[in-house]
Each structure stands twice: as C-alpha cells, then as structure tokens.
Homo-oligomer: A and B are copies of this chain.
C-alpha cells in the first residue's frame, strides 16, 4: 500500500494501475515502457494540468461536441488508467469508443472489450471491417462505423505513424501526449500536453459546461502551435527551477 501522504502518491497509484493492467493482459510490455517515458515528462511538467493543457482540453471538448461522428480510440494503457472516465466522457460527448492497438493481439482486444462491458458499454474494434490507408496490416485495422467514418478522433497516447495516417484521411485529430516534442504531439490538430487521467477528468467537467455557442468561440481562438510552444517553455522553466533549487541544496 502506498501511503496517501507520499509526495508522489498519484504517480505511484498510476504505476500500480498499469502493472495491474499488465498482469490482466490488457497492457503490453511496451506499454509499460511508454508509461515510464510519460512519467518523466509529467515529472518535468510538475504533475499538474497547466494552462496550456486546460486550453487544449476545452478546445478538444468543443470540437467533439460539434462533431458529426466523434470517436475515442482506446489502447491498453488508456483502458488500465481511465476506462471508467472514458465511458463517462464518451456519454457526455455522444462519442463512440473503439479499441485500437499498436501491438494488436485478439486476446488483448477481447480483454479490453470485456473491461468496458463492466460499465455496460459495448465498444467497437473487435470485428474490424476497414483499414486506415498507409499503415501496416494489423495497425491499420478499424471499423467502418467508428474510426473509418469518424470526422473527429480523440487518440490518447497514440503512435506518430497512426496519428499522421488519420490526419491524411482528412480527420480532425486530437491527442493527449505528455511529450510536446513527439511526432504525435506535432501532428495532431489539438494536442493536450497533460497526464491522461487528469486530462479526461478535466474534459468531463468541460463537457458538462460548454454549450454550442461557447464551443464555436473557443475553437475560433484556439492555436495549437501556441499551445505547444507554451508547453515547451514551461518544461524548460521548470527544469531551470529544479536545477537552481538543486544547486541551492548543495551549496
């Protein structure tokens, strides 16, 4: 048991959720490594939702509220960390959920589908009938009803190639990615530089507040370039501060 008083309690809880998800066969070994990469970026960000994240989360909700067929793509890590919140967000946004795995095995797909069935939700992706052009066979699989025909896709913790392929199909791509320099972060139309569970919880709050008129206003002001630049600047400043604190400690 991790004591709640531990300074990095939230981070350690998420690490445990990932390892549990892994033991259940939901998370791939490479998913654990990817989580570690994210942990470092979150540590550098300061483990809270900064302004650049909040603005992107509002814009993402606005865009999804106005979409014709919004789809949320889920993988093993997303399922292990945030399945309950993803279900709530999907309901509020009238969005479909589709499982889409980088290391696709039918067993992992089945386990993820089962995880969502616990919330009484049927998700797409276990019977793919379409392909995302430009991707290697298994990574291309999707459904006509979901990702293939979607106008707006939320692809949290996504691979760079797939984000680009979805963009090439003309879709509006929203991602959640702690590394503002990643190819996914740079490819997406809206990049939420925030930790997944914080991001989804914030989006749930915004989905309850934002109406159509506000959604239009939010989107008319949103500039992803500016957001990414702010995120980078923030990490840089934090690192400078950490370095200064550290040198003071050593003096």
> Which positions in A face B, CB cutoff 8 Å?
15, 18-19, 22-23, 29-30, 32-41, 179, 181, 186, 225, 228-229, 232-233, 235-236, 239-240, 242-243, 246-247, 249-250
How long is the Cα–Cα vector from A237 to B216 in the complex, in angstroms? 39
The 3 closest A-B pairs by CB, nearest first: A36-B36, A40-B40, A32-B32
How long is the Cα–Cα vector from A36 to B29 in the complex, in angstroms? 11
Further contacts, 16 of them, CB under 8 A, given A15-B33, A19-B33, A186-B250: A19-B30, A32-B33, A33-B39, A36-B39, A37-B40, A40-B41, A40-B179, A181-B246, A186-B249, A225-B250, A228-B246, A228-B250, A232-B246, A235-B239, A236-B240, A239-B239
Determine if B242 and A239 form an interchain contact, defined as CB atoms under 8 angstroms apart: no
A3–chain B nearest beta-carbon distance, Å: 14
- Number of this chain's copies in the assembly equals 2
How long is the Cα–Cα vector from A37 to B37 in the complex, in angstroms? 5
How long is the Cα–Cα vector from A23 to B22 in the complex, in angstroms? 13
Interface pairs (10), CB distance under 8 Å: A18-B33, A19-B33, A35-B36, A37-B39, A181-B242, A186-B246, A229-B247, A236-B236, A236-B243, A239-B239
